[in-house]
Amino acid sequence: MSSMLFSPITLGPLALSNRIAIAPMCQYSAVLGLPTDWHMIHLGNLALSGAGLLIIEATAVTPEGRISPEDLGLWTDAHQEALAPVIRAMRQHSPIKIAIQLAHAGRKASTEVPWAGGAQIRPDQPRGWQTVAPSPLAHADGEVAPLALDANGLARIRAGFVDAARRAHALGLDGIELHAAHGYLMHQFLSPLSNSRGDDYGGSLENRMRFPLEVFEAVRAAVPRAMAVGVRISATDWVAGGWEIEQSLRFAQELKARGCDFIHVSTGGLSPLQEIPLKPGYQVDFAQRIKGATGMPTIGVGLITEAQQAESILQQGQADVIGLARAMLYDPRWPWHAAAELGAQVFAPPQYWRSQPREYKTLFAATRTG
């Protein structure tokens, strides 16, 4: 049986040569939102992995939307210009398709980088700023509460997503993933644990979905249909009374009706009270339910580390694409090793062809596919 993991698939207009996606991973290595040499070597390395799709890390659409002061941004033309050489280098040496995750951190913004503890940087501290959110509810005890967004604030952030999307298209990227997961701004609107608004953007499920759907519609309209636009969600908060799978199914159906090309299914991140039952593939069941209910191409992710595990998920119809994050950092040649194990072929640059083990003489594709 041929490997599904190394079979082609389309996410709307986006054709992938295989079903391995490198999920967005924050690097906390930008300066004022601008990419640095780290991004060149980090993304360049991943572009040579043999994966079908690379999604660039969460990229802020406004300055206050950064998780940390060192987050990547795309809120000005200068950010676009600084990212262009990185994209150009990847294009020159790899056929990998490239998307970008556009994001706003909401109340989870203004924090230290993880290796410095990740705590909130208060607005009265150097490098800190006042956060904004659907409601003035802090993410954790002891943190400075965010300011509730008014109509002007909502319009400004919507416009930020649109402008960043247009810059992503101008960069020649193949797709956009909107970040509505992990407790960031759009997830904060969705969850009743973080959204206590009394206007048209709070209360009922329909109202809580309104702003994320408005952002999606605005971005979808801002770029050509030939550019894929998808959404990453947290299917559940893992907290009683919070966002959960039934609401996620409804949200996914609304996204599909508006032209969403794919959905990337994660969980958690909204509340420190979450209780996550970690185990290999612990989020895949949620992807399977959303895939079954909507028929939308679905990316499954979460402690997927082995080639046979990934292959089994696809063979069982639980997801359409496998998203890898930390596993790819640990082993940037994961797709090579998976192809060897599953008897498939994978792209490798000719400079690396001599590394092909003798027992896998047909491992590397001789041409740029995808």
In this structure, how many other beta carbons lie within 10 angstroms of the beta carbon of residue 55? 27
Q: What is the pLDDT of residue 266?
A: 98
137-162 per-position pLDDT tens digit: 999 999 999 999 999 999 999 999 99
184 is catalytic: yes
> Is there a domain that residue 90 lies in?
yes
Phi, psi dihedrals of residue 66, rounded to the nearest 5°? -70, 140
CATH number at residue 345: 3.20.20.70
Containing structural domain, residue 117: 9-365
> Active-site residue among 28, 184, 282, 330?
184
Q: Is residue 172 part of a domain?
A: yes
- Encode pLDDT of 172-197 as tens digits: 999 999 999 999 999 999 999 999 99
Asked if the structure places residue 196 within a domain, the reply is yes
Average pLDDT over residues 328-343: 97
**Is residue 367's pLDDT more than 70?**
no
In this predicted structure, what is the pLDDT of residue 252? 98
How many domains is the chain partitioned into structurally? 1
Residue 91 lies in a domain: yes
Looking at residue 368, its pLDDT comes to 54
Is residue 213 a contact partner of residue 254, using CB atoms and an 8 Å limit? Answer: yes
pLDDT interval class at 35 (50, 70, 90): very high
Q: What percent of the chain has pLDDT over 90?
A: 97
Segment 327-347 shows an average pLDDT of 97
Residue 369 has pLDDT above 50, yes or no: no
Inter-residue contact 25 to 329 (CB < 8 Å)? yes
Q: Which residue has the tokens 């009265």?
A: 124
pLDDT exceeds cutoff 60 at 96: yes
133 part of a folded domain: yes
pLDDT of residue 58: 98
Residue 332 lies in a domain: yes
pLDDT at 366: 64
pLDDT of residue 370: 44
Answer whether residue 237 is part of any domain.
yes
Q: Provide mean pLDDT across the span 229-239.
A: 98
Does 50 reside within a domain?
Answer: yes
**Of residues 367 and 88, which shows the higher confidence score?**
88
Q: Is residue 28 predicted with pLDDT exceeding 80?
A: yes
